[in-house]
C-alpha cells in the first residue's frame, strides 16, 4: 500500500500545480479530473502519471531543462601542494624519501555562457590555486579548462574550453527578479553528477554574510549543497539569473538557505575578466567606520545610521567632492549606507568612471555631494626584480581599501612553470609578512628583500586561509 500512498501524494501535487497553471479550468472540470485520478490510482504502483488530465497538460520543468542542462558542466580541479621534508626525521627513523608534494582534488560546477568562444563561468573558490582544471560536459566529454581570470572579491572565475558542439545559457536581467519568483538550481552536489532542484527567490540584495568581498546575493530555498558551487540558478524560461555560490548551514548540508551571485553583477565582472584578466574597481578614497554610541554622541548624530569618515586620501574622488573626516555617509546613489561594510560593498559594486551622489550628514545637517569613482593608482613590480625566488610573479600594492587594513601586497599574476609558481605562489594570493615581519606595501617588501636573506618564509593569505610558504 505504501507505493499507492506515494502515488496519491504525487497525483495531488500534480493537481495543485495544474490548478496553479490552468486557473479556474481545473475547478470547472473537478469531477472529471477526480474520476481520471481514481482510475489512475488503481493502476499498478509503477505506472507513471498521465501527460494530461481531462485535456489539461500537467506542468513540467522538463522541456526547459532539456535546453538548460547541456550548458551545465562539472569541474574537477587538482592542486599540487608542496610538502616540506625533514631529512633528520627520515634518517633517524630509517624512513624512505618522502614525496615532495601531494595532490588535492575538489569538485564543483560551472555553466557555459558563450558557446562560440567556449567561456565557462564558475566560482573563484572552485578553481582557486588549481594546477589542473578538467571540465566534464553533460554529454560525457571531458575537456581541459584554461583559466582566463578570477575575482576573489565576488567569488567569480572565467574558464575557456575548446568551442566544439557547445550549448550556452543566456543571461537574464536579475534586476527584474522578485521575491517569490520560481527558480531552478543545477549542479553537481557531493560529486553525484548533474542534479536539478527547484524553489523560489527567498530574498534579494543579501549582504553582511561574513567574510570579505562584495556581496549582493540572491537568497533561494532551491536545494544547494557542496559541489553545487559555480552552477547556474535559472528562471522558468531557462535564462541564467545567478551563479550558486554559498549556503548557510549549521550542519554543512542544505537547510533551505542558499545564495547566488546575481547575473547583472556576473555580467560586469565577466566582461572585465575576459578583457583584462582581473577586475578594475573604482574607489572613493576614504576610510570609514561604523557608528558607535560614543561617536553618535560626539558627532551629534542622534539615531542616524551610516558610515563615519575617519580619513580622506589626498587627491581622491572623495577629496575632490569635499568630503571630510567626521562626515557621516548616509547613502550612495540613493542606496542606504548602514555601516562601513555596506559603504565598501556599494563602492566596489559601482563600475569605474561612474558619477555618483553621496548623501551625507555634516554638523547635524544633511548635504549632497557628487564625484566620479576612479581606479586607485597602485605600484606594481615584477617578482624577479625583488628576489630571484619570486621570478614569474607580479606583485602590487593593495588597491582595495578594505584589504589595506590587512596590510601586505597582492600577487596579481603568476606565470605557469615559473620559479614563483613552482614555489607555490598563485594569482590572488596576499603576502602579509616576510620572515614573520609584517609588510605594508611594495616599498616595505623591497626593504626587507634588499638584505638577501638565505631563508624566505612568506605568510600567505589565500581566500579565507593563512599559511606559511617557504620559498626556495
Bridge partners, residue 409, by sequence = 397, 431
Contacts of 153 (CB under 8 A, 6+ apart): 212, 213, 214, 279, 281, 348, 400
Residue in 250, 245, 237, 197 with CA at minimum distance from that of residue 221: 197
Nearest in space to 103 (alpha carbons), one of 128, 132, 124, 127: 132
Contact 445, 439 (CB under 8 A): yes
155 catalytic? Reply is yes
C-alpha cell recorded at residue 397: 600594492
Q: Which residues pair with 53 in a beta bridge?
A: 56
What's the longest Cα–Cα distance across the chain? 89
Catalytic one among 155, 235, 327, 400?
155
- Contacts for 107 with CB less than 8 Å, ≥ 6 apart: 74, 75, 76, 77, 188, 191, 227
d(CA 255, CA 249): 6
Phi, psi of 201 (to 5 degrees): -75, 115
Torsion of CA 340, 343, 347, 349, to 10 degrees: 110
DSSP 134-193: EEE-TTS-EEE-EEEEEETTTTEEEEE---SS---PPBP-GGG--TT-EEEEEE-GGG--
The x, y and z cell numbers of residue 126, run together, are: 572552485
Annotated catalytic residue, options 125, 331, 429, 444: 125
Residue 364 has phi, psi (to 5 degrees) of 80, 0
Closest CA relative to residue 231, chosen from 34, 222, 42, 97: 222
Catalytic-residue membership of 27: no
**Cell numbers linked to 305:** 545610521
* C-alpha span between 342 and 255 (Å, rounded): 26
Instruction: Tell me the C-alpha distance between 443 and 201, whole Å.
Output: 47
Which of the following is catalytic: 174, 229, 245, 401? 229
36 phi, psi to nearest 5 deg:
-65, -40
Would you tell me how many other CB atoms lie within 10 Å of the CB of residue 362? 16
User: E-strand spans in 235-306?
Assistant: 240-247, 258-262, 286-290
Catalytic positions: 125, 155, 229
Amino acid at each position: 500500500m505504501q507505493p499507492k500512498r506515494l502515488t496519491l501524494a504525487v497525483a495531488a501535487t500534480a493537481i495543485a500545480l495544474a490548478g496553479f497553471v490552468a486557473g479556474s479550468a481545473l475547478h470547472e472540470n473537478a469531477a472529471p479530473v477526480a474520476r481520471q485520478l481514481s482510475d489512475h490510482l488503481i493502476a499498478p504502483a509503477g505506472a507513471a502519471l498521465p501527460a494530461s488530465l481531462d485535456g489539461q497538460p500537467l506542468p513540467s520543468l522538463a522541456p526547459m531543462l532539456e535546453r538548460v542542462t547541456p550548458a551545465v558542466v562539472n569541474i574537477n580541479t587538482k592542486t599540487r601542494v608542496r610538502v616540506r621534508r625533514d631529512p633528520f626525521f627520515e634518517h633517524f627513523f630509517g624512513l624512505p624519501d618522502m614525496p615532495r608534494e601531494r595532490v588535492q582534488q575538489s569538485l564543483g560546477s560551472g555553466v557555459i555562457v558563450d558557446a562560440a568562444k567556449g567561456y565557462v563561468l564558475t566560482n573563484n573558490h572552485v578553481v582557486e590555486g588549481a594546477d589542473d582544471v578538467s571540465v566534464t560536459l553533460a554529454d560525457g566529454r571531458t575537456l581541459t579548462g584554461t583559466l582566463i581570470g578570477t575575482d576573489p572579491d565576488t567569488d567569480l572565475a572565467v574558464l575557456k574550453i575548446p568551442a566544439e558542439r557547445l550549448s550556452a545559457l543566456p543571461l537574464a536581467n536579475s534586476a527584474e527578479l522578485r521575491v517569490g519568483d520560481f527558480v531552478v538550481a543545477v549542479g553537481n552536489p557531493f560529486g553525484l553528477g548533474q542534479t536539478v532542484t527547484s524553489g523560489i527567490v527567498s530574498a534579494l540584495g543579501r549582504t553582511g554574510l561574513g567574510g570579505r568581498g562584495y556581496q549582493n546575493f540572491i537568497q533561494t530555498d532551491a536545494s544547494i549543497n557542496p559541489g553545487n558551487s559555480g552552477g547556474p540558478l535559472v528562471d522558468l524560461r531557462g535564462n541564467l539569473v545567478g551563479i550558486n555560490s554559498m549556503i548557510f548551514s549549521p550542519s554543512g548540508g542544505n537547510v533551505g538557505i542558499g545564495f547566488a551571485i546575481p547575473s547583472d553583477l556576473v555580467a560586469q565582472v565577466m566582461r572585465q575578466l575576459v578583457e583584462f584578466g582581473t577586475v578594475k574597481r573604482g574607489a572613493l578614497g576614504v576610510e570609514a567606520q561604523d557608528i558607535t554610541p560614543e561617536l553618535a554622541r560626539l558627532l551629534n548624530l542622534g539615531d542616524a545610521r551610516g558610515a563615519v569618515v575617519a580619513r580622506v586620501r589626498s587627491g581622491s574622488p572623495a577629496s575632490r567632492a569635499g568630503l571630510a573626516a567626521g562626515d557621516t555617509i548616509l547613502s550612495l546613489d540613493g542606496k542606504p549606507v548602514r555601516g562601513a561594510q555596506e559603504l565598501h560593498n556599494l563602492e566596489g559594486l559601482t563600475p569605474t568612471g561612474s558619477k555618483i551622489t553621496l548623501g551625507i550628514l555634516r554638523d547635524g545637517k544633511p548635504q549632497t555631494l557628487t564625484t566620479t569613482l576612479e581606479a586607485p593608482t597602485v605600484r606594481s613590480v615584477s617578482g624577479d626584480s625583488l628576489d630571484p625566488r619570486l621570478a614569474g610573479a607580479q606583485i602590487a600594492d593593495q588597491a582595495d581599501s578594505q584589504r589595506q587594513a590587512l596590510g601586505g601586497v597582492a600577487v596579481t599574476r603568476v606565470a605557469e612553470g615559473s620559479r614563483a609558481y613552482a614555489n607555490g605562489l598563485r594569482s590572488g594570493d596576499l603576502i602579509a609578512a616576510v620572515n614573520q615581519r609584517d609588510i605594508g606595501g611594495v616599498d616595505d617588501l623591497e626593504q626587507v628583500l634588499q638584505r638577501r636573506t638565505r631563508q624566505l618564509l612568506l605568510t600567505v593569505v589565500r581566500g579565507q586561509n593563512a599559511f606559511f610558504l617557504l620559498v626556495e
